[in-house]
Amino acid sequence: MTAPEPSTLAVADLDESGQATYAVYADSAADWQWTDEELATTGWESPACLHTGSLALIRQPGGTRIEDPLAKAFEHVTVSIDPNVRPLLVPPAAYRERLPHWCTLADILRLSEDDLALLLPGVRPEEACDIRSAAGLVGTRSGGSSRRE
């Protein structure tokens, strides 16, 4: 899909310990301004895997518009969702509100250590897998390692 608007630009900076901070340029970006008509023509059922998340899935009005085609694609396609929480742009509470529904749309849910802390405070990765079991596979990432449950 083409659009006259620019895509969102995120600039990451790593500190000495490897922790990232981000500057995100998202105002008037194309990433969440899709119409239902545009999304209907994208061929959601033909790929083997479909991945989405982050700002495209949470920012409105495009975020909720993506959910209907995801639900239809979920019947035929492996769907992967990475919430990739961006608290500078969207309050974590908005992600927490949508997460249970996203789990019903996803075969795979990927959570970073930071996402886990913001979405499910105090919950260990293996507990998150139990809580969000609607997604068939929950993967968590901690620094340089990954855990698959």
Which residue ranges form the domains of the chain, and what is each CATH number? Answer: 31-148 (3.40.1190.20)
Beta-bridge partners for 10? 24
pTM metric for this prediction: 0.74
**9 by DSSP, 3-state: which?**
strand
- Paired sense of beta strands 137-142 and 145-148, if any: antiparallel
The interaxial angle of helices 62-73 and 92-105, nearest 10 deg, is 20
Rounded CA gap, 46 and 75, in Å?
Answer: 12
**Is residue 74 within 8 Å of 45, Cβ to Cβ?**
no
| pLDDT score of 146 | 45
pLDDT in tens, 32-77: 677 778 777 776 667 788 888 888 889 887 888 888 888 888 888 8
